[in-house]
Structure 1
Amino acid sequence: MNMVQKTVLITGCSSGIGLAIAAKLARDEQKRFKVYATMRNLAKKDDLVGATEGYLGKTMEIKEMDVCSEDSIRNCVRSIPDRHIDILVSNAGVGLIGPIECQTIDEMKTVMDTNFFGLVRLLKEILPDMKKRKSGHIVIISSVMGIQGILFNDVYAASKFAVEGFCESLAIQALKFKLQLSLIEPGPVITEFEKKVFEDGMKMDLSAADKETADMFTNIYLKNYKSIFQSLGQTAEDVAEHTMKIVLSENPPFRHQTNTLYTPMTTLKYADPNGDLPIDTFYKMVFQHDKIFNASLNFIKLLRWRSKKSFDLGKPQPQ
């Protein structure tokens, strides 16, 4: 092969967005990437193996890595030829929803340890090599919740806010070393990750919360959870497509939102320096105009279904 393959290390590849990105890059027709897809538990590799049949051992290898362990990260990086990583895709993460009165501090620490300190550990190991070479692209799968907090996502949003602040600070230093840094910010994404978060929320013991808060979580948040994902949700493959474009871009943006349907929500934050507008808007949507909110979600769902239907009809039908 004449062209130089770029070495890509991706975390959290057992399912969801990480799996989709690993498969997308590994299956690239031009073979521009050598993918090291990592996961905490190799017993969960079957879905990734199935999605990349014919590419394993060629454009992709699967390795064990736990982002909560410095030793695990170090061992994985050392197993890569010359420790050379051109592109790091930091994707591993965990979710948590519900009233904070019903969550333990240990559960909160796990979210921060994985979502924030997991990235920090990765960069402590990989950044010095990139600095020496003055070459590398760090891609972080963040979230729109790293820009704007959402009801009953307090701790998860905090972990993503931490990631965004950390990267905003680091990006200035990265420029000096000719490194690129990109935050990819999906909105709702329909994956096993979200399904598990929802199921954990459904099983949550709400006895520590007052009746009004428990009712709000059950009858407003959880009740609307599926509708929001069905109306605004993307697939992991959509996010992988956006990630590939960012990785291939000559001048990748620092921030990139993958879901234009969600962008008006985050724009509210920048429209009001006082910060009252988004909070007031979300409050009214949830508590005062819930019928309009639900009608809007159904309308968006209908528009997406119609556009998908017309798109599908435009394809040649198999004989």
Structure 2
Amino acid sequence: MIIWEHTTPTMLIMIGVAAGVLVAAFSFWRFLKPDLATLAIILLRLLFMALLVWCLFMPEKRESLTHLLKPRFVVALDKTQSMTLAPPGETRNRWAAAQEALGMDWVKAVSAECELDVYPFDVEVRPRVTIAEARAMEPDGSATLLRDALFKLADRYRGQNVAGFLLLSDGVDTREAFDDWASGMWPWPIYTLRLEPPATWEEEPDVRVDAVNTPRRVNVGWSTELKAVVSGQGTKGQAITVQLIENNALRQEIPTQIPAGGGSRQVSFQLEHPEVGVFTYLVCVPPLEGETHTNDNAYSITVQVVDNKNRLLYVEGPPRIESKFLTRALKANPK
């Protein structure tokens, strides 16, 4: 709302101007002689009073803006190329389902109560766009960093009133090996939309060795523990065998089971080190039936076993010719 008004009431301005003119006229008539200098002073005084009147009658612009503070509703739209995939026998892909969701009536209902912010993302969170701009986009991203996108948006809206968060994605994070973060605590409710019918994709069986941890340098005679983390998906709940191979010889086998929906397990092996030397340990899992990616089914690690005995040779006196023989003998037998 814009209002134009004077800073002083108009009648008060007119009375003040009239009084000023009368006082000036009386002063000139009473104290100055009627000559050219007096006439010039009168003209200057009238010019000054005219400018003063113009300034007094200048209006002041007062603008009042009323804004209703609404909560935010955030929409994260996955624009990677994996969104163009469609299940066998389906004509509508994931991207088409997401675009259809952006055209439903909930958009008008939410916009009436909240400020609707749409953020496309792939490897980065893109700038905020409108619903119309989001519907005109194409899925051209090369990778999906879903976890990073959610954390960045959570930091961006930290401390603000967020009513909800809608995630339109296939749920694939190409960086994270595990999806435990998906069940973590978030500052606002996250709503998801099923972009395709359930159980339309048959998950390819795959098992892998993610990490192996053990002391890399030990003393002879020690017993240490080797921990291995194995994970996989599509195992259908069947048991797998984790094998420990030492210098190309099978030493131990431990059976374990990966959940049918995917996950990870940790297995532990006890290592004995009776001899000095460098030993290579290979942790591997046999490929499942139908598994095609077998390059990550094994993980090797090297352990050095040393002797902790300290030997001291004390030679007294200045070096003589015999020191050459002693030097050669020590180099030939460093142990």
The TM-score normalised by the length of structure 2 is 0.22
Structure number with bigger Rg: 2
Larger relative contact order (CA 8 Å, sep ≥ 6): 1
The TM-score normalised by the length of structure 1 is 0.23
